[in-house]
Amino acid sequence: MEIGLLLIAGGIATGLFGSLLGLGGGVLLVPLLTLGFDLPVREAIGVSLVCVIITSAASASVFLDRGMANLRLGMVLELFTAIGALIGGLVAFLLDERFLAGLFALLLVYTAATMLRPRDASAGDGVGGPDADGRGDVAGTVRSRIGEAVSGAGYLVRQPVPGAIGGVGGGILSALLGIGGGLIMVPVMHLLMGVPLRVATATSNVMIGVTASTSALVYLLKGGIDPYATGPAAVGVFVGAAVGSRVVHRVDTRLLRLLFAAVLAYTAILMVQRALVVQ
């Protein structure tokens, strides 16, 4: 019973800090399960995928209610993230656990680096990347019917083809590492496709469910999801994320980001050690 309660508490912490720091739960949950509870990496990824779907579905419904997410763009892109997730879900069972642990260590280093980077000053202004409104230099703008069909109020979606390729890559990484894929898809949508950051973040949240469920179904059918480990983690992450979303506006996350960058860097070292010793 103690381990179950500890796992719920760990899930709460993961959901809470993930919500406060704008990280998907997977980045924190997979190391917690592998290093803290000694679960095999692949099993931890299966647990994480289920938790990621739960938290993204809960927040996606809010984003859709508020009209913040671009459902049409999300659906076009998630076709490609789902293809990537299918490929990644199958490849994950062919790879050595040590490789997955090493890959996750790289993800942690990347995430720590992004947390140390100064936040984009235009993050909250609803303005996309260059040419976000569809005017100005149109040389790089693919004014395809798809791009226009999925554009939103005040912005034109650019470069749908590179965006789709980015989607496949995001889906593969999501399936291999048990993350939502927002770390890839938000920059792809914002910087590459000219989608305003808030819309990109909300749309990414909507997409995560389909991406993660595609690979999670492969994990499930190949015996990669353990209900006893998944249940307490899911309850904890759900509660933690709900609390985090309510207090995020009252917390100064600058110091928290610095601390977590250090924690993630240290965790990356532990994951590298695991990559070197796992049978």
Partner 1 sequence: MTAPVGRRSLEARVSLVLKVGTYAAMALVGLGVALMLASGRSPLDVAPVLDPGSLAADLAALRPSGFLWLGILIVLATPPLRVATALSGYLRAGERQMAVVALLILAVIALGVVVGTSGS
Q: Total residues contacting partner 1 (rule CB under 8 A)?
A: 62
Site for partner 1 contains 161 (CB under 8 A): no
Q: How far is the CB of 19 from partner 1 (least distance, A)?
A: 15
Contact 171, 214 (CB under 8 A): yes
Residue 105 or 157 with smaller CB distance to partner 1: 157
Answer for which of 20, 30, 82, 197 binds partner 1 (CB under 8 A) is 82
Site for partner 1 contains 89 (CB under 8 A): yes
Candidate segments 12-20, 61-69, 124-132, 155-163, binder of partner 1 by CB under 8 A? 61-69
From residue 220, how far is each of 215, 216, 260 by CA, in Å? Answer: 9, 6, 31
Site for partner 1 contains 73 (CB under 8 A): no
Answer for which of 22, 35, 40, 72 binds partner 1 (CB under 8 A) is 72
CB atoms closer than 10 angstroms to residue 37: 17
Q: How far is the CB of 196 from partner 1 (least distance, A)?
A: 13
Answer for which of 227, 258, 266, 273 binds partner 1 (CB under 8 A) is 227
What SS3 string covers 16-54? HHHHHHCCCHHHHHHHHHHHHCCCCHHHHHHHHHHHHHH
Question: E strands, the chain, where?
Answer: none
The 118-157 contact track toward partner 1, x by CB under 8 A, reads: -------------------------------x---xx---
From residue 245, how far is each of 83, 114, 237, 249 by CA, in Å? Answer: 30, 21, 12, 8
Burial of 249 (0-12, 13-18, 19+ CB in 10 A): exposed
Candidate segments 111-119, 193-201, 222-230, 247-255, binder of partner 1 by CB under 8 A? 222-230
Answer for which of 35, 75, 165, 248 binds partner 1 (CB under 8 A) is 75
Contact 278, 101 (CB under 8 A): yes
Q: How far is the CB of 256 from partner 1 (least distance, A)?
A: 26
Q: Give the whole-angstrom CA distance, residue 273 versus residue 78.
A: 34
Name residue 17's amino acid. F
Q: 146-178 as b/e, with b when 16 or more CB fall inside 10 Å?
A: bbeebbbeebbbbbbeebbebbbbbbbbbbbbb
Contact 201, 119 (CB under 8 A): no
Q: Which of residues 182-221 bind partner 1 (CB under 8 A)?
A: 209-210, 212-218, 220-221
Using CB under 8 A, list all residues that contact partner 1: 1, 3-5, 7-8, 37-39, 50, 53-54, 57-58, 60-62, 64-65, 67, 69, 71-72, 75-76, 78-79, 82-83, 85-86, 89-90, 93, 149, 153-154, 209-210, 212-218, 220-223, 225-235, 238
